[in-house]
Structure 1
Amino acid sequence: MLETKQNILVLMADQLTPFALSAYGNRVTKTPRIDALAREGVVFESAYCASPLCAPSRFSLLAGKLPSNIGAYDNAAEFPSETLTFAHYLRAEGYRTILSGKMHFCGADQLHGFEERLTTDIYPADFGWTPDWQNPDARPTWYHNMSSVIDAGPCVRTNQLDFDDEVTFTTRQKLFDIARERNAGRDARPFMMVASLTHPHDPYAIPRKYWDMYADDDIDMPSYRDSLDACDPHSKRLRHVYEADRTPPTDRQIRNARRAYYGAVSYVDDQFASILEALEQAGLADDTIIVVTSDHGEMLGERGLWYKMTFFEGGCRVPLIVHAPKQFNARRVPDSVSHLDVLPTLVEFARGEAPQSWPDSIDGRSLVPHLRATGGHDEAIGEYLAEGAIAPIVMIRRGRFKFIHTSVDPDQLFDVAADPFERENLAGDERHAAQVAEFRAEIARRWNLDALHQNVLKSQRRRHFHFAATTRGTIQSWDWQPHVDASQRYMRNHIDLDDLEAMARFPAVEH
């Protein structure tokens, strides 16, 4: 049995590739707080998101389900309210469930099991960012383009800095509020809190403090930069959709983008450090499990690709660190695991054991055997159904190999252990013909790709029409509006001054 009812703090970054962290072998970036968590915790060396795009990845992380099983096709797909998330499960176990920061919920439900949400989201909650597979040559005006790379460099402020500073502030304040409420005997429940930053997501702009932490000579350049002609078909479509074919960056621009990205990674580390400082000061650290992850990776110019949207390692691999030194010895797990596995893991943390039955099906498996070094699985499954695709793309990672399949492009098979940069596609090698056939048979059992393709197209058509209709006349927003009751904050005449000061001071003064 695990020690139950521990607090759980999920520290989440956006578009943070593990290859930019020293805990995963990077020799450039400076991330002392994440490094310390990794030294004392369990580091999953081969963790994958379920879809290399913000919203589908986050919905799958929360629900423990593949995107196609919840309709989480792209960044403008509605997250159905009936979908159970780990916030629902932990709330049912008696936890306070709290969210601060980005989660990219689309639709009217902006809580999805969280009892409290401390900030708005940085991204819109409507259907305006719906892709259009029936018009694959169009470049969406709202989507990534290469300005993030071309204009990379130092800045004073950005909207992302405004947002993440708020996330850090509200998270710290809530930790202190929790401590004060416990001290006053008002709410002794354990908490599960997600603090979700939007850095180091592009655009690659960061204050001078973080830019100057690195020098040009420190910055490693992409290991391989494929020409457009040498790209696989999906990579060509990606380079078209974000205009890398039209405005390829110079070496100077690539270096600037990577330098600013590394600076943003250090900024993330500082925000995590500030949150963990508050956790310690509030007296909550010894009873809190910390989980560090990101929604997906970042290609950073490798193969001529940027951002994510690909099942190459840079796009779909994620950091995953579990820090609970009183329960799990520090170790590194080489097996491939998935974001889908987080929900059953958190539920087991809360209950002390896996449920005998679930109120709904899930696609993940608990990571507790890996954390205890008693076994565990070695498999990650992924789907990509958004921009740059013209049909569903699926991925299976098991053992040494990764298999990527879509009906419109040639198969890809990589021996990731021997070929970590995925330079040699083994799918056409006769020596691997039987293995390819096995993977294709498994895909046929797991998915009806033709039906999934039609479901995606139908959903896109509905959402395009929905957005066009609901942006005529008076527009009613789904965006989350945080509620703050000013009558209960700071000094108010209906609260006795001594009582107010005593409640607000932490730790309490002993008389």
Structure 2
Amino acid sequence: MNILFLMADQMAAPILPLYDAASPIKLPNLQRLAERAVVFDSAYCNSPLCAPSRFTLVSGQLPSKISAYDNAADFAADIPTYAHHLRRLGYRTALSGKMHFCGPDQLHGYEERLTSDIYPADYGWAVNWDAADVRPSWYHNMSSVLQAGPCVRTNQLDFDEEVVFKARQYLYDHVRRGDDQPFCLTVSLTHPHDPYTIPREFWDLYDEVDIPLPEGAIPQAEQDPHSQRLLKVIDLWDKPLPEAKIRDARQAYYGACSYVDAQVGHLLKTLEECGLADDTVIVFSGDHGDMLGERGLWYKMHWFEMAARVPLLIHAPGRFAPARVQASVSTMDLLPTFVELAGGRLPAELPLDGRSLLPHLEGRAGHDEVIGEYLAEGTVSPLLMIRRGPYKYIHCELDPPLLFDLQNDPLERENLAASPDYAELLASFQAEVRQRWDLARLHGEVLASQRRRRFVAAALEQGERTSWDHQPFVDASQQYMRNHIDLDDLERRARYPQP
């Protein structure tokens, strides 16, 4: 079967109507899709930051295994991705939209990238743990919240509309080609990522809606150390936000979620028009969430549910019965899942951390575990996470441990790490961290990578600049009407269905 993989950027799962029946967010297309899909209720990213999360997703390997440390980490060309695997199985592979690849290889197994990326491909955003108290100008700040509101046009709208246009054109070209080769098309939008602004059409969907404010913000003095560092990273320390702007930001975010849903609707309609709906597995997910003011935090970069949990559904009605999966899984598990859906086998000699979701899809017992690593801005030591059963454990050598029972405390208000009743569980998690990671070595590898990339980035700013950003090629000599192409033949081939 074909695979259509749809991605949203910074879409927080806990507040979506797919997971919260009381959510005011309007997602009619995704909800209709979910009714006939396998929906994962506890899906996570493996690093709550764009590039590391995406590199892990496409490779099925943890960030530390592939040096995916931050948003300027080089993604090596010799790391196999799901696109490489599917090409070997006979699939056409294409990417339309964002994947935030850094480095000179901008394809990573995709035969085609239909658009450029919205983010830079160079090392300019390399993190500096050597000067952790210095806040670079490119870090998030609060302008996204303070300037929140409706708009006519933005950089992100320009990007996403090109992404969807090119993706639909790819589907039309596929059916007009008329062969039996399957495709894997990845369509990756940049909404609802901040800035929090969206056209009136989507803003006005929520004009009559009571926009809920964050539940019980935690005073900054009572925040855990990593949250305190993040408040400084995003320039929010000692700077309370106006309640009206918090509400505006959340309304715009809701509207941006509905915008994503509308784009999904366009793509689903194209599948139907092209007769591809019954032959295509549809997967919807994202790279990480957004705190949206919960706990007093914004954006991502922490392991709390709003930042780390992502939507995940897999729609293949002819193959899998609709179901809800309670077990915790991650986007790292998508690569082995795609390979098995395509009828392939995973090479035993290639490293892989992800585990196939096929048992869950078939209603059998599957894994219930997520391993996470955060190695970027806001920390100066690896921030690690283990999610298993009802528990989430967050570990950093510099900070007190965090342990939550999400079954009884879904808002993560009670840190159980100091409770004598949980001393044995805490000790077992701590021992597992020591067994899984050589923390001193990982810390050193991150620092060494940061130093190399900052040096190279500074050098490449001198002299003539060569861009690594992907440049999509369009051969205009083969487009539309040209004198070397027979007009009747051109019109016949371009028409679908053909007369």
TM-score greater than 0.5 by the shorter chain: yes
Partner of 1:3: none
Alpha carbons 1:86, 1:346 under 8 Å: kept: yes
- Could you tell me which of 312, 321, 329 is aligned with 1:337? 329
Q: How does 1:52-451 map to 2 (within 5 A)?
A: 52-182=48-178, 187-215=179-207, 217-351=209-343, 354-355=345-346, 357-451=347-441
Partner of 2:8: 13
Could you tell which deviates more after superposition, 245-254 or 67-76? Answer: 245-254
Distance 1:370 1:481 in 2: 39
Structure 2, gaps ≥5 residues long: none
Could you tell which deviates more after superposition, 14-23 or 412-421? Answer: 14-23
Alpha carbons 1:395, 1:402 under 8 Å: kept: yes
Distance 2:238 2:456 in 1: 32
- Identity across aligned pairs (percent)? 58
Cα shift readout 1:299-347 (whole Å, capped 9, x = no counterpart): 0000000000000011100000000011000010000001111000000
Partner of 2:477: 487
Distance 1:27 1:59 in 2: 31
Q: What is the count of residue pairs matched by the alignment?
A: 498
**How much has 1:147 moved relative to structure 2?**
0.4
User: Residue type matched to 1:51 in 2?
Assistant: S
Distance 1:130 1:228 in 2: 27
Could you tell which deviates more after superposition, 19-28 or 275-284? Answer: 19-28
Alpha carbons 1:216, 1:255 under 8 Å: kept: no
Distance 1:180 1:305 in 2: 49
Partner of 1:22: 17
TM-score by length of structure 2 reads 0.99
Alpha carbons 2:24, 2:209 under 8 Å: kept: no
**How much has 1:421 moved relative to structure 2?**
0.4
Distance 2:349 2:275 in 1: 35
**How much has 1:220 moved relative to structure 2?**
1.1
Distance 2:349 2:192 in 1: 36
Distance 1:466 1:216 in 2: 52
Distance 1:463 1:195 in 2: 29
Distance 2:41 2:136 in 1: 35
Q: Aligned to 1:351, what secondary structure does the other structure show?
A: coil
**How much has 1:465 moved relative to structure 2?**
0.5
**How much has 1:7 moved relative to structure 2?**
0.2
Partner of 1:38: 34
Aligned residues: CA RMSD = 0.9
Cα shift readout 1:364-411 (whole Å, capped 9, x = no counterpart): 110000001111010001000001011001000000100000100000
Cα shift readout 1:451-501 (whole Å, capped 9, x = no counterpart): 100100010111110000001111000000001000111001101011000
User: Residue type matched to 2:482 in 1?
Assistant: R
Alpha carbons 2:14, 2:305 under 8 Å: kept: no
Cα shift readout 1:406-455 (whole Å, capped 9, x = no counterpart): 10000000001100000000011111111111111111111001110010
Moved >4 Å (runs of 4+): none
Alpha carbons 1:20, 1:262 under 8 Å: kept: no
Partner of 1:464: 454
Distance 2:275 2:125 in 1: 43
2:498 is aligned with 1:503 = no
Distance 1:470 1:227 in 2: 43
Alpha carbons 1:55, 1:74 under 8 Å: kept: yes
**How much has 1:250 moved relative to structure 2?**
1.1
Structure 1, gaps ≥5 residues long: 1-5
Alpha carbons 2:52, 2:69 under 8 Å: kept: yes
Q: Aligned to 1:37, what secondary structure does the other structure show?
A: helix
Alpha carbons 1:64, 1:362 under 8 Å: kept: yes
Alpha carbons 2:48, 2:301 under 8 Å: kept: yes
